[in-house]
Each structure stands twice: as C-alpha cells, then as structure tokens.
C-alpha cells in the first residue's frame, strides 16, 4: 500500500487529522493553480480550493482507490466546484452549437491565441454557458493538461467521445471568435 492510500485509510477509519493535513498539503498548491488559471482571481481560487478540500474530507469515506486514483478523484471535485461557481454567476449567452460539421482546427495555433488574457476571459464566459460535461472536458484538457485517455477515465466515457467533444468545442470557439483572432 503506498503512502497516499495509507493516509486515506487513516482518514477513513480513524478520522486522522494529521493524515488529512498531510494529504491536503500534498495537493493544495496544485489544485489552487488549476482553479486560479480558470478564475484569474486569487480570492475566488482560494475560496474554491477550500471548498474542494472540505468536500474531499466530507466524502473521502466513500473514496475507492480501485475505481479511480485519488488525484483524479480530487480533480473531478475541483472541476465540479469550478463549473458550479461559474454556473452560479454566469451571464447566460444564447448560442447554438453547430456540431454537424466536425472540422479539426489547428489546435496549437488556436490555443496560443486564446491564452491571451482578454480573449481567454471571453472564451471562458462562453464555455461557462455550456453543459457541465463539455466544460469538464475543456477545463481538464486546457487547464489541467490531462490527456484524452485520462479525461475519458475520469468522466467514464470513451476516449473517442472526449476527443470529439474537445475538437468540436474548439471548432465552435473558432467560429464564435473568428473576428477576434483573424
């Protein structure tokens, strides 16, 4: 049993505060950075990171390392908290996703352009209006730098579906923001 599973077991069986503290310290900075990159606000990122770890501690008794790795499980909580945050404060934009035509965009060029802060803010406001699963795929790939296989495992969907959702969304974003980067 590795050290991480030993800590989780101590928390699950004894409510061990030292083990919980060790586990939180191990992942706090990583989860904070993941959330901060999405919110671009330190206070919001700190609040959401705290919510992630409160939720983690409240549900860790149900964690089963056989179903998913702890890090993967923690990122799922972080993604859900971030999606919930944006959903709760998002300005709803009416839009129609054109999914009939799956044209694969030049990912590298497009990603480089949306990394510009202003463009990223507008893109994220748009992404925040999408269904949760589409947001999760985008956030895990773009911010969490997960591979398609990792995202598929995390969301329990086929890798081909993850790729399709991601590239379809990139294509939609390219069309939506065409005038902003031409």
d(CA 33, CA 17): 24
Residue 95 has pLDDT above 90, yes or no: no
Q: Among 77, 17, 89, which residue's Cα sits nearest to residue 48?
A: 77
Measured torsion, CA atoms of residues 70, 15, 18, 43, in degrees rounded to the nearest 10:
60
Question: The whole model's pTM is what?
Answer: 0.62
Output the pLDDT for position 24.
93
| 106-146 pLDDT tens trace | 666 666 555 556 677 778 788 888 887 888 888 888 888 88
Output the pLDDT for position 3.
86
- Name the pLDDT band for 163 (thresholds 50, 70, 90): very high
Residue 65, both tokens: 């390392």
| 59-90 pLDDT tens trace | 998 888 777 788 888 988 998 898 888 776 54
């Amino acid at each position: 049993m590795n050290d991480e599973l030993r800590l989780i077991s101590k928390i699950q069986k004894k409510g061990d505060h030292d083990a919980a503290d060790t586990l939180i310290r191990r992942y706090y900075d990583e989860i904070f950075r993941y959330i901060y990159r999405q919110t671009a606000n330190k206070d919001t990122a700190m609040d959401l990171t705290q919510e992630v770890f409160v939720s983690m501690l409240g549900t860790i008794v149900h964690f089963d390392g056989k179903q998913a790795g702890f890090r993967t499980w923690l990122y799922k909580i972080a993604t859900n908290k971030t999606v919930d945050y944006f959903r709760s404060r998002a300005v709803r934009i009416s839009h129609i996703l054109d999914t009939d035509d799956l044209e694969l965009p030049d990912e590298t060029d497009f990603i480089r352009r949306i990394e510009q802060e202003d463009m990223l803010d507008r893109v994220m406001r748009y992404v925040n209006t999408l269904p949760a699963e589409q947001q999760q795929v985008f956030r895990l790939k773009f911010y969490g730098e997960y591979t398609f296989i990792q995202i598929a495992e995390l969301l329990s969907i086929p890798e081909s579906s993850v790729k399709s959702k991601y590239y379809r969304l990139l294509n939609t974003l390219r069309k939506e923001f065409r005038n902003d980067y031409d």
